[in-house]
Amino acid sequence: MHYLRVLLETKPRAFPLENVKGLAYKGKNEGLEFLREGVKEVNRRARTKYEVHWTTLNAADFGVPQNRERVFLVASRDGAKFEFPTARFGTDSTRELFDSGLEPYRTAWDAIGDLDERANGDCDTPIDESLIVRGKWGELLPSIPDGDNYLHHTPRGASRKYPGALAREKT
């Protein structure tokens, strides 16, 4: 509601809105429909011509080293058509199956592999203090498997073999 209120009050030339993929799940898209109907009401009250264009995009398809599907809504005040970008990256199977010319998905190493070695502590230059992980559970970070998170160290985590520090702390 607040997004629609701001849209009505400011009437920007164009707007983007990004949200979780679940916003557009078939049979559970009440949120998406609420937004689309809300934009129609903004048009009626503000005499604008916003026409909502929406799709689901995966960040990995655009060079981000993370599978992250999100719903995007875009509209312009004058009703101009919006074309979403096409994917530039894909999985091996997608690339081979469709002979698509897509580049392979990027890895985390592709994204950070050229960072200064000081971030790894591999040189004599002092580490920037702002880069050190702090907080109550910061020391657990190296023990968390790739692709996992701090829940690894809780009863909800994937590892029952290694009872975690977070689970012990609660007792």
Span 31-84, pLDDT tens digits = 999 999 999 999 999 999 999 999 999 999 999 999 999 999 999 999 999 999
β-pairing, 103-104 vs 89-90, is parallel
**Phi, psi angle pair for 4, to nearest 5°:** -65, -35
Indicate the pTM of the whole model.
0.65
Block residue for tokens 């994917």: 87
**3 state SS of 71:** strand
Q: Which of 137, 163, 132 is nearest to 150 (CA)?
A: 137
Q: Are 137 and 169 in contact (CB under 8 A)?
A: no
**3 state SS of 76:** strand
In DSSP terms, 16 is beta-bridged to 74
Q: Are 21 and 70 in contact (CB under 8 A)?
A: yes
The residue ranking higher by pLDDT, 163 or 76, is 76
pLDDT in the model for residue 40:
97
Alpha-carbon span 3 to 50, nearest angstrom: 14
CATH 3.40.50.800, applies to 2-85: no
Alpha-carbon span 134 to 50, nearest angstrom: 45
Specify the domain boundaries for CATH 3.40.50.150 within the chain: 2-85
Residue 159 has pLDDT above 80, yes or no: no
Q: Are 31 and 19 in contact (CB under 8 A)?
A: yes
Q: Are 7 and 15 in contact (CB under 8 A)?
A: yes
Alpha-carbon span 83 to 142, nearest angstrom: 42
The residue ranking higher by pLDDT, 160 or 56, is 56
Alpha-carbon span 52 to 5, nearest angstrom: 16
